[in-house]
Amino acid sequence: GAVVSQHPSRVICKSGTSVKIECRSLDFQATTMFWYRQFPKQSLMLMATSNEGSKATYEQGVEKDKFLINHASLTLSTLTVTSAHPEDSSFYICSASIPALGQFFGPGTRLTVL
Amino acid sequence: AQRVTQPEKLLSVFKGAPVELKCNYSYSGSPELFWYVQYSRQRLQLLLRHISRESIKGFTADLNKGETSFHLKKPFAQEEDSAMYYCALSLPNNDMRFGAGTRLTVKP
């Protein structure tokens, strides 16, 4: 149980386009999901906390208009990277939270912006 | 397939007792492994990484390639060590694979 999926696993796009990444909790409902960004050889960086039915809470330094987060249902949160640029190329990981059990991480999405 | 397994979802020890959080990995290449910790109401944070061979907050973890393990150990647990611990495997392309996590409770 407690499986989190992400789609797509890899995406390559041209600079200036927008990319949507989906995070799904497959066998449980998650009122809270998290979006992380992984820089090479560095620790995860929390980008935002996504709460079902309300606006996401962004970490300091993360552009809200750049990284749009929608958590429209208890099993799906989406991260849209708008007008992507090469510096947005990274590994994005989501996690879904189950109270008292912790966070369950998705497999990640590798974004490459050309 | 690359996989990280943390067999214990819950682990409870008494203060002052030794603690070991198990992590096993499946990876054919040369692994780079991490331990992350999340204290209550705080964000996930890096605890240690095997390549630095450091000890953070009294925790150590040794990579055992023969057993494909990276267990996290501390000789004397403290109450403030109570948290969620995640073992993670970094792949050559910097993708990460996380274990399911172990909730450690240190009782007084």
Residue B91: which pLDDT band, with cuts at 50, 70 and 90? confident
Say if B84 is an interface residue toward chain A (CB within 8 Å): yes
Quote the minimal CA–CA distance from A40 to chain B in Å: 6
A37 contact partners, CB below 8 Å, separation of at least 6: A44, A45, A47, A90, A91, A92, A93
pLDDT tens digits, B29-66: 888 888 989 888 776 777 888 877 778 899 999 899 99
Closest CA to B85 of B56, B53, B54: B56
CB contact (8 A) between residue A91 and residue B96? yes
Average pLDDT over residues A41-53: 78
| Residues on chain A touching B98 (C-beta within 8 angstroms) | 93, 105
- Using left for φ > 0, alpha for ψ between -120 and 50, and beta otherwise, residue A2 falls in left
pLDDT of the residue at A21: 97
Quote the minimal CA–CA distance from B66 to chain A in Å: 24
Strand partners, B33: B89
| Residues on chain B touching A46 (C-beta within 8 angstroms) | 43-44
pLDDT tens digits, A74-107: 899 999 999 999 999 998 999 887 776 666 788 8
Q: Indicate whether A1 pLDDT > 90.
A: no
